[in-house]
Every structure is written in structure tokens, then in C-alpha cells.
Structure 1
Amino acid sequence: MFQRHEPIAGMSGNAATLSMSQAISLRRAADESPRALSWIDALRDRFAHIDLVPDLGDNIGSAEWWRGLATLTLLCGTAISTFPGLKPLEIGGAPALDASDFNEARAQMIVPIAYGGDTGRHMAATDAVRPLAQTPERPQIELTATLGQGDSFARVLERSGVGSPDAQAIASQVAGAVPLSDIAAGTRIDLILGRRAARTMPRPVDALAMRARFDLRIEMERIDGRLVMRRIPIAVDNTPLRIRGRVGDSLYRSARAAGAPPEAIQSYLRVISRQISVGSDIRASDEFDIILDHRRAETGESETGKLLYAGLVRGGKPKLSMIEWTVDGRTQWYEASGIGQQRGGMIRPTNGRITSTFGMRRHPILGYTRMHSGVDFGGGYGAPIYAVSDGVVTIAGRTGGFGNYVKLNHGAGLGTGYGHMSRIAVRPGQHVNRGQVIGYIGSSGLSTGPHLHYEVYRNGVAVNPLSVSFVTRAQLEGKALADFRARIRQLTSVSVGAALTPVAARPAEGPKLGSLADTASKRAGEGI
């Protein structure tokens, strides 16, 4: 293209060549007739000398060469602008395998085990595969069961696959070593179930192991068809845990930093708040002194119990020392002097509302005005009546217009009376405690309906019950006080952090509160 001069076939060497325009002119001259040229021929002759496709390799830089370059550029631009672009040809066929199908197909391939066995899929059955009439059973099953809150030991075994008769028998054996109620919720039971005689029967227990109690482990093993149980005592150190430190900016944060559990600190604050104001009476320079019930087993486990001693030290001397003590069946916190918790304020003898107050009034039955020497509380028939303070029963029986009546002597010239009861729950000479039920509301005596007539006496004279507040303070005396103080000395003799120190590393003169259970030398298995 764009090359004008081409060799003519049959010519060689220096043969002359004719241009295209010359060839056309010669052919036209040969074909021309004498007749006149038409207008088309005239137009063709006019533009015949113009060459639109000159040879770009010839006469470079001439006007004819530039015209040819412009023509070439125009043709290339037209071709590029009308280019439709490339499109991939769509070929129909089956889609590619996804991951699941690929793994399925891969499992059927003949490839090395290292690659073909990593899909976890089974090979398709072939003629060489024969179905089993019965699948073999595992000879043993190892599992762990956990005793839940309020759960039954036997039910836990049954849920684990143990037959009901075997579960009941095992529970009876364990109960012979430790009460089932003493087994704490969350206890793990390790089981080994053996081979069963038939598929319709539950598996027998071949072995069982559990921490039945903090100081006792139980193991059971089937020997000659019988379950033999071994009791394995665990040595336990019962030395109380003593925590002491400076109050600083915050008693709670300081005690936590010293290692006291949050529950113990809360109990400590509740106890000392009965004697002093935690917000205003405690100084930053004071020291808290907390002693807790603590047990540590030789296997490494430890557990912290309730608060045993609450103390506060100021200037190196005890400012407050309190322990819990039980007197006459009532447990409360006592200060080192033997004085217990003070309780004050008026307590209502029953839960009903006040229907009549102290003073002059018209009697609803007698019909004339006279002194009403107490306060009436309404209430349903049979509602309980409580003692407003500790005291001794001086009267308990039928008394005139009061009907069934109880009178209490609280000491210091104070007494209370309770009338119109339906039933009396105490007897003369009996000691009663604050809040104890002494009878039940009724309508005995001169009464128009069930209610309680409540009176308060000061030196035998009735006074307005709403103006009297009873203050109760327990105090230890005699042998009870001596035993109480001995217990304080025993607890405060414990060194700080002694419970966390191994027994062998403690000094010989250390406290004797820690007691050890039988050691491993006494752990001979006991068959049952």
C-alpha cells in the first residue's frame, strides 16, 4: 500500500516502469473515439492528475508526501474510532465444582493417603464392602458427671447411663462414708462404665472417683464383680487466716489490697458499724484486724469461710475486738468486754394497724367513759403476737376482762401486757426473746372483735406504749465471759498470714489452731 512503483512481470534489469497515471492515459488514448467526451469523462480528466495515495517512501517532505501522510492518518483515525472492541466468546458447558463437591469427588480419587484422607469423607461402597450385622461396642466409656444444685447423687449417675439399681447401690455405699447432703454442688464425679451383657442393659460401673468432701476422697473399683470403695483422707490445715493492715484513704481498698475477700470485708464493716461509725470514727492511721475461717488441703486447694474476728487497732492498742458468740441458743457479736449488740426502738407487737390509742374513751361494751390504759391493734383472728423485748413471763392465762393474757417482765421496772388472745404460746417463768411469738390474736374477755390490747408498765403503772422505746443489750457473765475471752486470746494469737505458710515452716511456738487430718500413711483402702 502507498507504494507506487512496482516491477512489471517479464521485465528485468533496467526496464522502464510506467506510472499508474501514464498507464491510464495510454489506455484511454487507445480507447478514445473521435466523439466528444461526456461531462463525466471531463470531470475524471480534471482530477486524474491528483494522486491521493502517493508513495510515502518517495519524495519525503514534498507537498505530495504530506498529502499522503494526512490521508493515512485520516484512515487510521477512522478505523480506530469505529473499532467495536473485543468480547470473549461464551462457551456452554458444565459449571466448575464448588468446595463441597470438590471434596466429595476428591474422596473418591486414588491419591496418597496424606492427601486423600484429609476430607473426613467415607469412600463409596463397592462390591467388596459387606454390611455388618452388628457393630462392635466399646469395651469402656470414660465420662465425667457434675452434681448440680439441689440434685440427687443417684439421679446424676442415672443420667450418666448407670442403671437405677446400680445407682441406688452406689449412693448407699457413698452415704456410708459421708452424708450425701455434705457433698457440695459442683462436685465432679469421674466414671468408667464397662461392657454390658446385652444391648438392652445399662453399662455397669467399673470405677468411680470423686472429692466427696474437702478432707475426703472416695474411689471405687470393681474387683471380682463387686465394687470396692476406698476412703482416702486428705490432710487439712484449719489455721484461721489473719489479715491486718493500715486503713489509709479507704478501708475497703486497703483490705482488698491485703488479700481479704470482698464478702469478708462487707461482713467486717457490718459488725464494727454496730459499735462505731465507720464514716467518722475510723482514722486513716488505724489498722484493721480481720480473722477468717480458713482451710487448706495438702493437695493445694484452699477455701475461706466466715468472719471469726473483727478488730480495730489504734496507736498499737486494740480499740475494738469483736467475735461471734452463742448464748441460750442465740448467736450474736460481742465486744471484748462481753457486751453484745444493742437493739433499740419500738417494736410493734403485731402487724395490724392501731385502732384505739392510750387515754380516756367510751368503753364499747360497758357504755361509759373510762381510762383506756393501752393501745389496740387490729388484726385477723390467729395473727401472731410478738414480745417487744427480752423478758420473763410472769402471767400466762385467763385474767378478768383481758381474757387470755400474757405479762412480761423486762427488768428495770418495765413490763408489758398482751390481752384478748385466742391462744397463748408461752408459760409462766419462761424466758422469751425480742420478736418471739408469745400468742395469737383473738377476742377473749370483754372484746367486740379480734384484736390485741397492748400495755406498757413502768414500776407497775400503765404508761402510753407509744412513748416507750426498749433498748436491749446482751452481756456475758461468769463462765460464759471467761470462755468468751479465752476464745479471743486464742484467735488473736494467730500470726498474720500464718494460714498461708506451710506447717513444716512454722515456728515451734506458733499457734496450735491448725489441725491436720489423718496423713497418707493412714490411707489404707477399706473394702465395703
Structure 2
Amino acid sequence: MADASPAPFVDRRDWRAKVRDWAEDVNLVPDLGQNIGSLEWFRGLATCTALCACALALSPGFRPIPAAPEPLLGQKQYQEMRSQMTTPLALGADSGRHMAPTDMVSPLAETPERPQIELSAAIGDGDSFGRALSRAGVSSNDASQVMDLVGNDVKPGKLKAGTRLDIVLGRRPTRNVPRPLDHLAFRARLDLAMELNRVNGVLQVTRIPIKVDATPLRIQGVVGDSLYRSARAAGAPPKSIQSFLRVIAQQIPIEDIRSGDRYDIILDYRRAETGDVEVGDLLYAGLGRTRGKSLDMLKWTNGDRTEWFEASGVGQRRGVLSMPVSGHVSSSYGMRRHPILGYTRMHAGIDFAASYGSPIYAATDGIVEYAGRHGGHGNYVKLRHGGGIATGYAHMSRIAASVGQRVRRGQVIGYVGSTGLSTGPHLHYELYRNGVNINPNSVKFTTVAQLTGKALANFKARLAQLKSLRVGLHTSEPAKVAQAGGVVGATAKGK
């Protein structure tokens, strides 16, 4: 039997050295962002997976810790707690308790009312006097009394938007009735303020007249780059400038107004002693031209018609036969082959090609004789103009006039369509004399108003009166004004 050989001796220091050398050669935690797919990368992935598995296995978990539930608050305890918080303030103190009762605080049986309420209201656009009072808390009975008291001075719906109403509502006997109106003050007109006060339980009205200077306002200046900008620089309101340009455009093209021309605008103007002003309509439009005839236009009422007259007393041209639609003539009056019926027959009017829905205008003043469906004409309107003359408008998509209605030249009476015997949207326009179709191009309506006698004398006197009004400041050096690109002018009032 052989002797057993002794086990080899292993020095621990040598073993640790070998392990250390192996660890230096083998990287167990490599950067997984590099060398993806290599043996070293898979070794690092295995190490990361093992560490994550160990972390999950050794996690303690998150089970809830049992505890006794909080007792629910009763209504009384809840209100007590809530009264100590800011919640009542945020909710408008609807808890009824603003603080807990103490020796210094005792609850009230009911909240006392204010002896009176002072407020200010205003009439809005499209609003009415009665609705404004109702919104302010005035009872319907008091509002009705107010309307009865001021009815002679304030017509329904005539108070301007923005009119302020100073209102005082008094004490009421019980909470079940509205507060009585104790005081109301407002500006009924530029020349009249009104106050209503309750005296011995009865509303009484006091009218306060206000002095008003009604001298017209005159604005003069020199045209620079633009008449509109020049007049605005001189203080003319935009609405007045637009009216001025419309009047001038009836006499000359606007583009003929040149730099250096002088404009003269006179407006209806009222100034109250309180400082309030009211700018009215354009009364006079003048244009001094460097080239061409100067213009003097005055607004004048002749009979029942108000219109613009030249300085010589010649008024506007009325009733001129105008284009009934914005378009071009596509078919004239006369014999033609009908595009639908296929045979030649009389075309008793003029066709104007226009886009669908374009407005159709009355060619001159008249009365609507017919409005509705009319055979091959489709939707059709016929106007009677007097003297046996009438006009017809056919193939409308929609009618905007009614039988018996009086229309003015240029008023919209319908819209272009393709109803009836029509191949596309257009207007078929006809002219009648004593009920018989005639060529629309054969008649022109031209009438001019002319003042004579006493009417002409009164007109010229008014024109001289307005042109004698003073202007506070104006330049006498048009060249400098034109260089400045605007107007050096000013507004003034006086005689």
C-alpha cells in the first residue's frame, strides 16, 4: 500500500494575487454604451441584470401601516372649524359665521340694511332709459312714474348712449319689497338737466335749463399730402371729413384735389356752459382750388327735401338714370336668338353680367309696383317713376323691396341671381313707357333743383352769414404747409 502524499500547500497570498490579477484583466462593470455586442459588453449586461435582480429581491415593499380612522365632524363642529378659516371670506361669508362667538362678539338676529344706496348707471348702445333704471334696481312702479314725469322732455329711446344716471335708492320697510327711488339726476339734452326727488313720499321733477351757444364751427386749412389727413390735423372730426368729401365728389373727382388747395368746413356746433359740446352735421363745404373752379356748397332745405346747392342756387341732379348693378352689358336691346328657347325673338331689355348675390339698385326714385315671381323673369321687381315711366329688374336671387314701398335712387331693391329663364347669374333690366317696353338707353332722367325768388334770397343770405364766421388761426404760406406734409390750421368758433 503506497503512502499517501501530503496535500500541496497553497499560500493565500499567492491566491489573492492571482484573483487580483484576474480582476485586473477582466472588467466586470464595463461601459454598456461602448463595444455593444462584444463579450465584454455581455459580461457587463449580466452583471447589471444580477444587481437589479438582487435589489428587487431584497426590497422591503410598501405595504400601508394600519392606524385608527379620524372621527367624522358633525355639522356644528364643521361650521365651527370653518369659521376660523379663510374659506368664508373666499365664498362670500356664506357660512353665516365670520368668527367664533366670544365674550366680545355676539351673533346678530339679522344683518341691518344700509339706509340708502348711491349708485351710477349708464345707458348703453341699443339700450333704453327704462331698462337702465331696471338694471340699477329701480322698481317697475317707480320707473313708470319717472317715465310719466319726464315724458314731455325725454322721448323713448332718444337718450344718447353713455348718458349717466345718478341714482339714490332709499330705505325700504321690509326686505320683501324693492327700495324706493329717492333721487335721480341725468342730462336729458345738451340744454337741459333733470332731477327727480322724493318729497313726502311723492316723486317731483326739477328741470334745470343749461345755456347753449349754437354758433357753427368753422375749420379752414391748406391741403398737404392728403385732404383727410390735413383736415384731421386741423381738428375736424372723421365723420365730418367724410361728409365733406362726399359733397365735393358730387362736383369734381376727389383725385383732382391738389396740394395747396384750401378747404373750408362749417359744422353745426353747440357748446353748453358746462363745457359739453355737440358736433352736428356738415352745413357748408368749400374748396378753393389752385387749378380749376372753386366750390361753394351749402346744405339747404327746399320744400320737403334737404340737399346741397351751389352758391348760385343750383341744386343736385336728381333722378339721373344710373347703372342698376355693378357689372358690364352682356346683351343689348333688340332681336336676338334666345339661349334657352332656341329661336330668335325680341330681347326687350339690357342684360348686365354680374356675380351672384351682387346688390341691385333702383335706377332712380320711384314706388315699387310689383315684387315677386313673374314667369320667365323669375324673381322680379317693377318700379313706377311717374309720367308713365317704369323700370323692371328680373332674375333676382332675392328681393329686398315690397309693393308700395317708396325707394330712392341707388337704394338696394334686390340681389343678382339666375331665377326664371336664365343661363347664369345676371340682371335683366327693362324700361317701360305707358306700359310698353322701350330701349333703356333712349331715356335719361335728369332733373336739377333751382332756387328762385325769395328762396334764393334766403339761401344767399344764409351762405353769406356762414362765410362771415371767423377762424381763429390759419396759415397764409401754403408752400410751407405743403413741405410739412400736412395742414397748419385751427378751429375756432365765433362771428
Q: Same fold (TM over 0.5)?
A: yes
- Which of 301, 304, 311 lines up with 2:286 in the alignment? 311
DSSP-derived class of the 1:332 partner = strand
Asked if the contact 1:177–1:231 (Cα under 8 Å) also holds between the matched residues in 2, the reply is no
- Which of 144, 166, 172 lines up with 1:168 in the alignment? 144
DSSP-derived class of the 1:323 partner = strand
> How far apart, in 1, do the equivalents of 2:242 and 2:350 lie?
40
Asked if the contact 1:294–1:303 (Cα under 8 Å) also holds between the matched residues in 2, the reply is yes
**Within 5 A, what are the aligned runs for 1:432-471?**
434=409, 454-455=430-431, 462-463=438-439, 465=440, 470=444
- Which of 210, 214, 223 lines up with 2:186 in the alignment? 210
Q: Percent identity?
A: 50
1:261 matched to 2:244? The reply is no
- Which of 445, 449, 471 lines up with 1:475 in the alignment? 449
Q: CA deviation at 1:189?
A: 0.8
> How far apart, in 1, do the equivalents of 2:393 and 2:241 lie?
46
> How far apart, in 2, do the equivalents of 1:487 and 1:145 lie?
42
> How far apart, in 2, do the equivalents of 1:357 and 1:253 lie?
44
Asked if the contact 2:139–2:180 (Cα under 8 Å) also holds between the matched residues in 1, the reply is yes
CA distance change for structure 1 residues 486 and 385 in 2, over 3 Å: closer, same or farther?
same
CA distance change for structure 1 residues 271 and 452 in 2, over 3 Å: closer, same or farther?
closer
**Within 5 A, what are the aligned runs for 1:127-526?**
127-284=103-260, 286-314=261-289, 319-327=294-302, 329-337=304-312, 338-341=314-317, 346-348=322-324, 357-361=332-336, 372=347, 374-375=349-350, 388-389=363-364, 434=409, 454-455=430-431, 462-463=438-439, 465=440, 470=444, 472=446, 474-479=448-453, 480-497=455-472, 510=495
DSSP-derived class of the 1:279 partner = helix
Ranges in structure 1 where 5+ consecutive residues have no aligned partner: 1-103, 106-121, 379-383, 394-404, 439-446, 511-528
Asked if the contact 1:289–1:311 (Cα under 8 Å) also holds between the matched residues in 2, the reply is yes
Q: 1:237-293: CA deviations, max 9, x gaps?
A: 111000112224443333223222222222222221222233334341x32111011
Q: 1:139-161: CA deviations, max 9, x gaps?
A: 11111111122223223222222
Ranges in structure 2 where 5+ consecutive residues have no aligned partner: 1-83, 86-97, 354-358, 369-380, 395-401, 414-419, 474-490
Q: How large is the RMSD of aligned CA atoms in angstroms?
A: 5.2
> How far apart, in 2, do the equivalents of 1:335 and 1:462 lie?
35
CA distance change for structure 1 residues 407 and 128 in 2, over 3 Å: closer, same or farther?
closer
Q: Which moved more, 1:487-496 or 1:221-230?
A: 487-496
CA distance change for structure 1 residues 469 and 216 in 2, over 3 Å: closer, same or farther?
same
CA distance change for structure 1 residues 248 and 224 in 2, over 3 Å: closer, same or farther?
same
Q: 1:447-500: CA deviations, max 9, x gaps?
A: 999x9782478xx9954x3x5684745332324444433332232122225995
CA distance change for structure 1 residues 166 and 389 in 2, over 3 Å: closer, same or farther?
closer
CA distance change for structure 1 residues 275 and 417 in 2, over 3 Å: closer, same or farther?
closer
Asked if the contact 1:344–1:469 (Cα under 8 Å) also holds between the matched residues in 2, the reply is no
> How far apart, in 2, do the equivalents of 1:246 and 1:301 lie?
29
> How far apart, in 1, do the equivalents of 2:226 and 2:329 lie?
46
Q: CA deviation at 1:198?
A: 0.6
> How far apart, in 1, do the equivalents of 2:451 and 2:193 lie?
44
Asked if the contact 2:361–2:410 (Cα under 8 Å) also holds between the matched residues in 1, the reply is yes
Asked if the contact 2:138–2:178 (Cα under 8 Å) also holds between the matched residues in 1, the reply is yes
CA distance change for structure 1 residues 437 and 302 in 2, over 3 Å: closer, same or farther?
closer
Asked if the contact 1:390–1:472 (Cα under 8 Å) also holds between the matched residues in 2, the reply is no
> How far apart, in 2, do the equivalents of 1:432 and 1:134 lie?
66
> How far apart, in 1, do the equivalents of 2:204 and 2:456 lie?
50
Asked if the contact 2:298–2:309 (Cα under 8 Å) also holds between the matched residues in 1, the reply is yes
CA distance change for structure 1 residues 189 and 425 in 2, over 3 Å: closer, same or farther?
closer
CA distance change for structure 1 residues 357 and 191 in 2, over 3 Å: closer, same or farther?
same
Asked if the contact 1:333–1:341 (Cα under 8 Å) also holds between the matched residues in 2, the reply is no
> How far apart, in 1, do the equivalents of 2:268 and 2:393 lie?
47
> How far apart, in 2, do the equivalents of 1:250 and 1:448 lie?
50
TM-score normalised per structure 1:
0.54
Look at both structures and tell me which one has the larger radius of gyration over its CA atoms. 1
Asked if the contact 1:325–1:332 (Cα under 8 Å) also holds between the matched residues in 2, the reply is yes
Asked if the contact 1:332–1:341 (Cα under 8 Å) also holds between the matched residues in 2, the reply is no
